[in-house]
Structure formats: C-alpha cells, structure tokens
Amino acid sequence: MSKKVARRAAALAGLVAAPVVLGATVGPGTAAAAPWRIGPLYRAEFAGPEGSAVCSKAEAFDRSIGAVVLVSCSWDPAANAWFYVAFNPRTWS
C-alpha cells in the first residue's frame, strides 16, 4: 500500500469517526441532540407517534441510494426523537 493511499484512508477514517464519536453519542453528556450535517455525514431525526416507522423507512431509503448507515435507528430520550447517523459519499462537496 502506498503512502498516498494510506493517508487517504486515514483521512477518511478520521472524517467518519470524529463526528460519530462527538455527535452521535446519546445520554446525559450530550449537550444538544439535534440533526446535523458535516459534509457527507449527517444525523437525521424523526419525532412524533410514527417516528420509529419513518426512521426505519428513511434509513432503508438512504441504504438503497448508497449511503452507509453508521448508527442505525435509535431512540434519543434527550431529543425525544428517533435518529440515525449516515455517511453518503454522493453528497461530498
């Protein structure tokens, strides 16, 4: 493996890992649980009585268009909503 490929892989791993570790953690330590987007990484939220079903359908749609779901649909009590975190390389700016 060349140095160039190794550096690109390390940079991509850092881009994927940092926001997930910082923003996808749920619990009392989370300052603000809200939808966010950092380049191709994003957190989507769904509230209301049908939030669980909508989250599952949206996650399935994102998978079908080539996104990689990093955190599957989970309940966030701080935001009172269902959420998932995904990486979509097609939205890279």
pTM higher than 0.75? no
Residue range(s) defining the domain that contains residue 7: 3-91
Distance of alpha carbon 24 from its chain centroid, rounded? 7
Distance of alpha carbon 7 from its chain centroid, rounded? 23
Domains: count for the chain = 1
Q: Report the alpha-carbon distance of residue 9 to residue 21 in Å, rounded.
A: 18
Per-position pLDDT tens, the chain of length 93: 676 655 565 555 555 555 544 455 444 444 456 788 888 999 999 998 899 999 999 999 999 999 999 999 999 998 899 999 999 988 875
